[in-house]
Structure 1
């Protein structure tokens, strides 16, 4: 099985190599690894994140460790969407693309950074890195992990992947189902800690960045948000605009290439739509506009404080994006049908705090319920905010159980 695993790792690298000639992310992935200049570090704390979402998820633990140690913090990313956005974060001393998983790369990388502990967030299970950490008796923790029955770990042919799990010192998982699945295959070093994303979004909602420009646009009107949207999501939301003349609409697309933004703007009310980047040159009052397109990255987590209802994108593709950022501000959350992989989305639907739609008629019905009944919307808002607050605390559980703070003080 290891031969097959190694083959597919090399095949993946080959496919990405050819994809770089017509795909920007593939090019960044390839060039980033080629330009990795990994510095020797006598001791370090290693955090690995698949992408930007996992960075934000693991950030509460990262921040606590950063404040508890003088050891260098090394961060690795698998995806360009994480590395390119956070490559200058002050929370780390060294930031790299994770070299491709091979026995040689794993040995050389770990010899260079010399971690006293490694912390992986949610997922990303790499055989050679885990095996090398295990051979060197370096503690490896997986935080905010979540498992489903359909994953390869729980299949008859998943022996190699189950072996990867055996290399982990301790798992901190989001729910009891994940713990049960691991215990069923003999993995007992598991704690149900919850999800550190709740800690992250709650802290963000408690001290959001003030955005006067958005207040000017809002001008006291209720706002319907489209957060991390894709074209299919945007098509549905656009259908609501003429139905609610007293509401404002803000779109924050997942992809902000010029081509994508121009296409979105062309589908929105002419003369009533403005891009955020156009505001500085505006000759008329901002509050005259009905629709705002956010054509930059990094504002969304603070933008939600000005919203009343949100449609989170991705549910007509591979899966919905971050619902918790909006929920922490008390926004009722709507999303497409592909949400089952996300525990918080399943929770929200079962508690009738989140709403799933499959078409424009579904969205019109739910939007009407929330918009026309202020009392219902306010009750939903209070309940969804309480749901987030009641699920905080994962960071404290992880730090106490692993004694990471004590380890950092010992290693300093």
Structure 2
């Protein structure tokens, strides 16, 4: 089955190049550093590199507490973070500011993987969430490089997809030394696919390891003053194509009410290549629009929509807003991490498509830290309920903050596994 997989990859090679070129039409950064995707990277300094793979922005942010802990406990190990997307690359630069090495991960072609491993020589591979790469995992095992897949999220639909290639999935999972699953359900799905029982541990989600420290709170307070303390602020975070129209319709409805007439919507599209198009859409619908990249100081009171067209500021925006809508949930994308809002005590609203965060969204509902809507037409009412009722808003925000605080512990469990794999 592994041989068939490699032959399939060879047949796909023209498509891989065409897709890379096509994506570059929307985001030219895909055309840069293409050789890295085939393992042509500058050799790293030889000693003791720990390789962390995080596909894109969400995985990079999830890796933040783990990276911090590794740098504190094991300063003798240089860190290399790989991503697959340019936005992930930008996020690495924004979050770590040169403290870690970065390049694109190799495509899963045997020669590319060999070239990458020859030039990086990692002592361990840490893979964030559920990225299963047959050649990478097999070649790491062949070189005695431990593979640790952490913060594993395995949905029912993902499991069914892997089951179509059951023998390949089983062989790939068996190359992994340890899995850290977010929940018992995730662990059971790994076992169903063929992971060794001795390799799977339930640790909880590392995404609860958020630090909403004093510096973040102070920065959020300063930003809120700049936006206007006396106006309601609604954040629509990580929105996808097809969701902005719903958000703008809800905004228009809300502004018909006198109490929300001066409302500010902070609208942050998920993908940077859509920033300009979303700003144009807002203006086309007649709203007074500003862009965060051009407005760092006090915001004119006439501005109705601030488009968040910068990287690395979403957590700050959560801290400065009153309520947050979590994008990717009104379209079948699977939602995004709502814990960043909860960590700073802000209530959340999300749609029906939260299958990537099923356990966390269910916990949020059970704790009363947010609400789930089933249709786009319900968005305005859900946001209004929080904005118009300070007691309900504060109660939900506090419930979310406590939920994050009480579910911490995954980082410590992950570090215990890492210590075993490193032999320390």
User: What TM-score bracket applies, with the shorter chain setting the length?
Assistant: 0.7 to 0.9
Q: Structure 2 matches for 1:11-410, cutoff 5 A?
A: 11-24=11-24, 28-29=29-30, 31-34=32-35, 36-43=40-47, 44-67=49-72, 68-87=74-93, 89-90=96-97, 92-150=99-157, 151-152=159-160, 155=163, 157-184=165-192, 185=194, 187-188=196-197, 189-199=199-209, 202-204=210-212, 207-208=215-216, 210=219, 212-241=222-251, 242-243=255-256, 244-256=260-272, 257-270=275-288, 273-279=289-295, 286-315=300-329, 316-342=331-357, 343-403=359-419, 407=423
Cα–Cα, structure 1 residues 12 and 217, in superposed 2: closer, same or farther, change >3 Å? farther
1:40 Cα deviation after fit: 4.6
Asked if the contact 1:52–1:82 (Cα under 8 Å) also holds between the matched residues in 2, the reply is yes
Give yes or no for contact 1:340–1:346 (8 Å, CA) kept in 2: no
Post-superposition Cα deviations, 1:77-128, rounded to whole Å, max 9, x if no partner, equal 1222212442573465431111221222222322222211111110211111
Contact 2:248 2:282 in 1 (8 A): no
Q: 1:179 to 1:108 in 2, by over 3 A?
A: same
Structure 1: segments with no counterpart, 5+ residues: none
User: Comparing 162-171 with 316-325, which one deviates more in the overlay?
Assistant: 316-325
Please give the TM-score of this superposition, normalised by the length of structure 2. 0.85
Aligned length: 402
**CA offset at residue 186 of structure 1?**
5.2
Q: Aligned partners of 1:9, 1:352: CA distance in 2, in Å?
A: 47
Partner secondary structure for residue 17 of structure 2: helix
| Local SS of the residue matching 1:147 | coil
- The 2-side partners of 1:206 and 1:176 are apart by 34
Q: Which whole-Å CA distance do the structure 1 matches of 2:244 and 2:85 have between them?
A: 26
SS state of the match for residue 203, structure 1? coil
1:164 and 1:371, CA in 2 relative to 1: closer, same or farther beyond 3 A? same
After superposition, give the CA deviation of every residue in 1:237-292 in whole Å (9 maximum; x if it has no partner): 2234314225332212224442332222322534xx3222443699xx72343432
Measured after TM superposition, the shift of residue 165 of structure 1 is: 0.8
Report the TM-score when normalising by structure 1.
0.87
CA distance in 1, matches of 2:33, 2:4: 26
CA offset digits 1:131-150 (Å, max 9, x no partner): 11112222111110122333
Secondary structure of 2:196's counterpart equals coil
Distance change (3 Å), C-alpha of 1:356 and 1:14: farther
SS of 2:75's equivalent in the other structure is coil
Please state how far the C-alpha of 1:191 moved relative to its aligned partner. 1.4
Relative to structure 1, the CA distance from residue 331 to residue 268 in structure 2 (aligned partners, 3 Å threshold; closer, same or farther) is farther
Q: Deviations over 1:345-393 (max 9, x none)?
A: 2322344433233434311332333233322222111111111111112
- The Cα of 1:216 is off from its aligned counterpart by 1.9
Change (3 A) 1:379 1:213: closer
Counterpart-to-counterpart distance in 1, 2:164 and 2:237: 39
Shift of 1:22: 4.0
